[in-house]
């Protein structure tokens, strides 16, 4: 394909393959020839943003990725950290935004399928799923369609596979209209000695493709995920998943590892067989040869191009010891799965693709990996506010109150009820009731608490899990907003008593070739790095999803943070709901302003200090470890009034608070670094003393009990009224 100077149609064709003209020119110069169609497809997939990280790779080097527990950082299918007792936790988060915009059910379902494979390709058994979902204006019919499809797809795949979906988050913002965000996180557990990598070794060792047959679904998905228009780019290419087959694949793969004959495993996700073979070879500094004629096909008419780039689901590439092929094939046959030798490792550093005797592609591995361009971004801050306003008003203004004046009489009660019923704060029962959150029998605390908690089977340990990101804060300040996502995740873990041990992230942004988006991405990564260092939470895996734009309008910056925490004694996990006859204590400094709150709308970033967050987290963990807390909940979206209402609703117990600022700021500010905890009356002195040792401000605010939430002379609402508002659309 010769490119004429200024030939727009040629540039558009290259864009469809995920390439820019300068990149294509480099490829031609490197090869000394033009690539053929199969090679162009392979190069386009590996040079795409989705696989090559060409607009984010330099920035990602800023992130802290090491620590005393880290066994595997970024660069593998998932990260891994040591939790003691000879066990490792494996974690990863991925995006499936573009496919879900087109076909929400299968787009979300296969997103779950892909993240499950990322975990068990490391030799780990998946033990928990979480998700982070962003949708557009909730009043639009298309948003309702997307919400129903995405949640249905997540529930279908996770429930059928048998992995509990234990938590997550859902929010609405006009900036996601046309381009929803669907991020899926999975966590697994594995004995450290069974941790499996995906690096090629031993030239001559065979490669086996196991699992499902190959079809046309998902064809060129990696390149399409680097396209601004998900509607146009993904039409007809969304993958179709089969969770029951994937369950068989999981059990077969984990069992075959016990033989010692499997040297490496790599799932077939973005870019399909191309990326699986190339990445495995690159990690080992070797080459591979693939014969597409030996790949089982689901349909006739598939040529080498389709076979190498198909993203059909439920497939895995295994590198095995020479001589073990027959035994491996027999093993997978017992699980009613294909296992076909499709190639072998070579020593020449090339990926050579054959169709029988014919060589249809021959490319150097480094050209597909190390030589992918890494760009310096042209970053410029915006001249005006970032992105469109929130969904509730054309100007982003609050519809809850007057914005800074003191509410009188019933207005505060009405404001709280309206907040509880609002799209971003209402009960998520409408989603969670579709998820099986207790399958496997290890869920201690599922959806509805500050963080989910699961038991590590065979031990007394527990894992706390959460996902966090507040697009409203990111709109106000991408750097502090990203740091806040880390801090809120750590605070959620601290509320249940867990120490953060690892982070996985998914960086969802618009077109990085635009200066404002480049600035957002740069600022957010710097914020993530700063907060992770301050809170000792290394980032061990993640994903970058760029070009999230529709009609030239980018989504709000959305750097989603998934965090895993460790509880040495899971029996000490602290719940969010109130229990009767306890004392309520508010931890953290009194709020100063409404700022960018759910109540006030877009505005200034709330008070936020990483040192305050660190000390609060240490205090919460210390109190939990001593068994002093009966409940704990952080103050976040909606402010103190919403936090109190949620504690009352989750526990089914009311509360009476006397020493509380009942102004708008006191009730609805989202100033950070605060939590509401309860303890037995005879533990109050100990809680106050320990709080003072950590330098955290405290205020005894009231007691729990009854069936009403009473806050001074400002609020007196029955739990029934609160629940009616909170679950109105649940």
d(CA 619, CA 615): 6
Does 156 participate in catalysis according to the annotation? no
Q: Tell me the C-alpha to C-alpha distance, in Å, between residue 199 and each of 88, 110, 597.
A: 19, 25, 47
Please, what's the largest Cα pairwise distance for the chain? 84
Q: Hey, how many other C-beta atoms are within 10 angstroms of the C-beta on 368?
A: 27
The rounded distance, in Å, linking the Cα atoms of 445 and 167 is: 9
Tokens found for residue 177: 């209209």
Burial per residue of 603-626, b for 16 or more beta-carbon CB atoms within 10 angstroms, e otherwise = bebbbbebebbbbbbbbbbbbbee
* Cβ burial, residue 462 (10 Å; 0-12/13-18/19+): buried
For 175, residues 6+ apart whose C-beta sits below 8 A from its C-beta are: 136, 387, 388, 471, 475, 553, 554, 555, 556
Edge-to-edge strand list for the sheet holding 631-634: 631-634, 675-679, 583-587, 698-704, 655-657, 708-711, 715-718
Annotated active-site residue in 50, 156, 344, 484: 50
Residue 672 C-alpha from the chain's centroid: 22
Catalytic residue among 55, 96, 449, 484: 96
Is residue 344 part of the annotated active site? The answer reads no
**Which pairing describes strands 708-711 and 698-704: parallel, antiparallel, or unpaired?**
unpaired
Q: Are strands 708-711 and 655-657 parallel, antiparallel or unpaired?
A: parallel
Q: How far apart are CA 488 and CA 561, in angstroms?
A: 9
- Chain position carrying tokens 């867990």: 498
At 84, list the tokens. 């003691």
DSSP state of 431: H
Q: How far apart are the C-alpha atoms of 113 and 505, rounded to whole Å?
A: 18
Q: CA-to-CA distance for 591 and 672, rounded, in angstroms?
A: 8
**Residue 632 to residues 20, 401, 448, 567, Cα–Cα distance (Å):** 52, 28, 12, 15
- What residues are labeled active site? 50, 96
């Amino acid at each position: 394909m010769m490119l004429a100077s200024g030939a727009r149609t040629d540039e558009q064709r290259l864009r469809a393959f995920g390439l820019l003209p300068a990149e294509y020119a480099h490829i031609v110069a490197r090869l000394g020839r033009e690539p053929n169609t199969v090679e162009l497809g392979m190069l386009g997939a590996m040079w795409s943003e989705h696989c090559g990280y060409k607009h984010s790779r330099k920035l990602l080097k800023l992130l802290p990725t090491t620590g005393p527990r880290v066994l595997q950082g970024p660069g593998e299918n998932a990260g891994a950290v040591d939790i003691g007792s000879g066990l490792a936790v494996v974690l990863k988060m991925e995006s499936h935004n573009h496919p879900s915009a087109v076909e929400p059910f299968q787009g979300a379902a296969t997103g779950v399928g892909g993240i499950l494979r990322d975990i068990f390709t490391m030799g780990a058994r998946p033990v928990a799923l979480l998700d982070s979902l962003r949708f557009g204006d909730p009043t639009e019919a298309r948003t309702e369609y997307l919400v129903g499809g995405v949640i249905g797809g997540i529930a279908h795949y996770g429930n059928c596979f048998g992995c509990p979906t234990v938590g997550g988050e859902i929010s609405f913002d006009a900036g996601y209209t046309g381009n929803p965000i669907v991020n899926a996180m999975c966590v697994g557990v594995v004995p450290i000695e069974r941790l499996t990598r995906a690096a090629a070794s031993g030239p001559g060792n065979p490669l086996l493709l196991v699992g499902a047959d190959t079809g046309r679904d998902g064809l060129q998905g990696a390149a399409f995920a680097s396209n601004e228009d998900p509607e146009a780019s993904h039409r007809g290419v969304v993958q179709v998943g089969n969770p029951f087959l994937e369950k068989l694949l999981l059990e077969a793969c984990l069992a075959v590892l016990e033989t010692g004959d499997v040297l490496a495993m790599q799932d077939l996700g973005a870019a399909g067989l191309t990326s699986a073979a190339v990445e495995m070879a690159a990690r080992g500094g070797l080459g591979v040869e693939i014969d597409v004629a030996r790949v089982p096909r689901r349909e006739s008419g598939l040529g080498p191009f389709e076979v190498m780039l198909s993203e059909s689901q439920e497939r895995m590439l295994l590198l095995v010891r020479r001589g073990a092929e027959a035994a491996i094939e027999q093993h997978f046959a017992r699980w009613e799965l294909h296992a076909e030798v499709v190639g072998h490792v070579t020593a020449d550093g090339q990926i050579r693709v054959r169709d029988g005797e014919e060589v249809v592609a021959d490319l150097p591995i480094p050209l597909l990996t190390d030589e992918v361009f890494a760009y310096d971004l042209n970053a410029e801050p915006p001249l005006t506010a970032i992105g469109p306003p929130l969904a509730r008003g054309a100007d982003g203004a609050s519809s809850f109150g007057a914005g800074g004046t003191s509410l009188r009489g019933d207005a505060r009660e009405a404001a709280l009820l309206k907040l509880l019923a609002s799209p971003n704060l209402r009960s998520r029962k409408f989603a969670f009731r579709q998820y099986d959150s207790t399958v496997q029998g290890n869920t201690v605390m599922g959806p509805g608490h500050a963080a989910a908690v699961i038991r590590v089977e065979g031990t007394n340990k527990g894992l706390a899990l959460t996902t966090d990101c507040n697009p409203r804060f990111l709109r106000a300040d991408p750097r502090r907003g990203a740091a806040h996502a880390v801090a809120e995740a750590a605070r959620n873990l601290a509320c249940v008593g867990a120490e953060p041990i690892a982070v996985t992230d998914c960086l969802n942004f618009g077109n990085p070739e635009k200066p404002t988006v480049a600035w957002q991405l740069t600022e957010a990564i710097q914020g993530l790095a700063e907060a992770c260092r301050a809170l000792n939470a290394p980032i061990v895996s993640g994903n970058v999803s760029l070009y999230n734009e529709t009609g030239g309008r980018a989504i709000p910056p959305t750097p989603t943070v998934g965090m895993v925490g460790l509880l040495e004694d899971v029996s000490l996990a602290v719940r969010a709901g109130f229990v009767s006859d306890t004392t309520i204590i508010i931890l953290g400094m009194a709020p100063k302003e409404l700022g960018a709150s759910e109540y006030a709308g877009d505005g200034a970033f709330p008070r936020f200090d990483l040192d305050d967050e660190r000390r609060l987290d240490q205090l919460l963990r210390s109190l939990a470890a001593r068994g002093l807390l009966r409940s704990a909940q952080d103050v976040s979206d909606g402010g103190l009034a919403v936090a109190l209402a949620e504690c009352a609703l989750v526990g089914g117990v009311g509360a009476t608070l006397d020493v509380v600022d009942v102004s708008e700021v006191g009730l609805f500010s989202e100033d950070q670094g605060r939590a509401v905890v309860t303890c037995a009356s005879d533990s109050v002195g100990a809680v106050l003393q320990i709080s003072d040792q950590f330098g955290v401000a405290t205020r005894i605010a009231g007691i729990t009990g009854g069936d009403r939430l009473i806050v001074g002379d400002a609020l007196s609402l029955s739990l029934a009224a609160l629940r009616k508002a909170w679950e109105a659309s649940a």
